[in-house]
């Protein structure tokens, strides 16, 4: 009888599953971090892909903006210090560089890190700004599909534009890469809503990689004419594995290939039930954060199957719009869809995706979240131990059912392979 351990908050919980029911653990690749992260990032910046080096691109007196799509203080410091070194070689001063931290509307943890990162960058003497819903934006044009694109004014007005990102899985865009740093990272909510609304009712947004969302992000980002990009690929421990810099599209493509080898996991067949943990703290701090794990993990569950979300959620729902939408529209997702067309919010978008999924799958939780919020507001079954949830799953899906386990759901992309892929979509 295998014991499976799943991250839960700052600890782990154990599921003791009968051997005949255990299918597999869907786990990402174990990859060592670079021996010297600074050397790896510096190597990529000094040897860019298909563009001139930064010290050649900039000229004395230029105003430079760096859009930073990572809220890891150590990596932020490395990127800023290396780029600043390149700029000073061209005669620029630290005051000529403005570091703009891009927003990630799907990540609530970024707000908690802002002041810490700002304080840690102060010794560099650079200007620091944080893009959010109140930042001044300018209209830069329409995409071919008619998306009106508004971008942070400081970034757009800068002579030289640089973006730097950590490449990590995102259930709606595959990865949060350089294009993501511009849209939605530096755009306003009107632009974000135009990109996300078309996928509101798509079962799996990653099935339409050539569709509206990725092409919209890419095309909108190219309207800004970024001069240089840096892409950091990290492992589950947050360590730098590889860095790719240069032309925005080509450097990102190389980084995405590296990320594929790390985050994508081939799955032979969908199963009756999946136990999925977002990956413990901070990924399971609240239900809003944990829902990203749902989008990824449901790819491994058959229609009408069971998904057990193992998430502590000590911070409850996390996002007020998410809470309001799930509470108000639990029995009426169609009205929520109409509401989002009038007043779009990321919390409402996530709530709609969650409510739609709960009608196609049996979703329950192992969590510390109070019953009132999960059971009465969402209609979710909540178990206090993982083995109680296992007994429920076996009772519902049958004693011969097969169960998979995903220990790091926020950073794992299950991919159905071979002849089973087409069969499983039907």
Q: Whose structure tokens read 């903006």? A: 65
We find that the CATH architecture of domain 3-28+268-425 is Alpha-Beta Complex (3.90)
Whole-number Å distance between alpha carbons of 352 and 241:
35
Beta-strand runs (E) in 221-341: 228-234, 240-246, 264-267, 271-276, 301-310
Intervals of CATH 3.90.226.30 along the chain: 3-28+268-425
CATH number of 37-262: 3.40.50.11440
Intervals of CATH 3.40.50.11440 along the chain: 37-262
* 133 closest CA partner among 200, 185, 72: 185
Q: How far apart are the first and last CA of the chain?
A: 33
Distances in Å between the Cα of 158 and the Cα atoms of 60, 97, 101, 357 are: 14, 9, 15, 43
Gyration radius (Cα) of the chain, Å: 22
> Facing residues of 233 across strands?
167, 242
| DSSP secondary structure string for all residues of 113-130 | HHHHHHHHHGGGT-EEEE
* 99 closest CA partner among 122, 80, 71: 80
Q: For residue 225, is it left (φ>0), alpha (ψ between -120 and 50) or beta?
A: left
Residue-by-residue pLDDT tens, the chain, 426 positions: 689 999 999 999 999 999 999 999 999 988 999 999 999 999 999 999 999 999 999 998 899 999 999 888 889 999 999 999 999 999 999 999 999 999 888 887 766 677 778 888 888 999 999 998 789 999 999 988 888 999 999 999 999 999 999 999 988 888 887 778 888 899 999 999 988 888 887 777 666 544 557 777 888 888 898 999 999 999 999 999 999 999 999 999 999 999 999 999 999 999 999 999 999 998 999 998 888 899 889 999 998 999 999 999 988 888 899 989 988 898 888 999 999 999 999 999 999 999 989 889 999 999 988 877 776 667 788 998 999 999 999 999 998 999 999 999 999 999 988 644 444 443
pTM more than 0.75: yes
The answer to whether residues 14 and 386 touch, using CB atoms and an 8 Å cutoff, is yes
The answer to whether residues 317 and 289 touch, using CB atoms and an 8 Å cutoff, is no
Query: Containing H/E element for 87?
Result: helix 73-89
Task: Phi first, then psi: give them for residue 308, nearest 5 degrees.
Answer: -105, 115
Query: Containing H/E element for 14?
Result: strand 11-16
């Amino acid at each position: 009888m295998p014991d499976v351990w799943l991250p839960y908050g700052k600890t782990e919980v154990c599921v003791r599953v009968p051997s005949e029911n255990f299918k597999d653990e869907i786990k990402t690749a174990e990859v060592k971090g670079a021996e010297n992260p600074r050397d790896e990032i510096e190597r990529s910046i000094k040897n860019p892909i298909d563009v001139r080096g930064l010290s050649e691109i900039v000229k004395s007196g230029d105003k430079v903006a760096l859009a930073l799509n990572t809220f890891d203080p150590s990596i932020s410091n490395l990127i800023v210090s290396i780029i600043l070194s390149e700029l000073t070689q061209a005669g620029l001063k630290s005051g000529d560089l403005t570091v703009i931290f891009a927003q990630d509307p799907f990540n609530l943890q970024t707000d908690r890190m802002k002041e810490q990162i700002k304080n840690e960058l102060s010794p560099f003497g650079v200007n620091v700004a944080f893009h959010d819903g109140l930042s001044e934006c300018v209209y830069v044009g329409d995409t071919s599909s008619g998306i009106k694109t508004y971008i942070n004014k400081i970034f757009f007005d800068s002579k030289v534009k640089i973006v730097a990102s950590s490449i990590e899985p995102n259930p709606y865009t595959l990865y949060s890469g350089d294009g993501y740093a511009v849209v939605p990272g530096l755009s306003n909510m009107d632009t974000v809503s135009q990109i996300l609304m078309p996928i509101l009712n798509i079962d799996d947004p990653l099935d339409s990689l050539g569709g509206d969302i990725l092409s919209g992000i890419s095309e909108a980002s190219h309207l800004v004419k970024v001069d240089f990009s840096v892409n950091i690929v990290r492992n589950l421990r947050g360590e730098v594995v590889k860095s790719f810099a240069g032309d925005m599209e080509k450097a990102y493509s190389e980084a995405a290939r590296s990320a594929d080898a790390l985050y994508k996991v081939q799955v032979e067949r969908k199963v009756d039930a999946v136990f999925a943990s977002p990956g413990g703290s901070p990924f399971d701090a609240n239900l809003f954060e944990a829902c990203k794990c749902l989008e990824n993990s449901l790819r491994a569950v058959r229609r009408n199957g069971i998904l057990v979300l193992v998430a502590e959620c000590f911070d409850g729902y996390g996002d007020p719009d998410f809470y309001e939408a799930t509470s108000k529209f639990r029995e009426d997702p169609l009205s929520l869809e109409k509401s989002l067309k009038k007043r779009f919010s990321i919390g409402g978008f996530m709530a709609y995706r969650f409510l739609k999924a709960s009608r196609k799958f049996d979703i329950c939780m192992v969590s510390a979240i109070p019953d009132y919020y999960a059971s009465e507001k969402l209609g979710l079954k909540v178990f206090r131990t993982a083995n109680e949830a296992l007994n429920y799953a076996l009772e519902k899906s049958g004693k011969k059912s097969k169960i998979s386990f995903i220990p790091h759901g926020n950073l794992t992309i299950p991919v159905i392979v071979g002849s089973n892929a087409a069969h499983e979509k039907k």
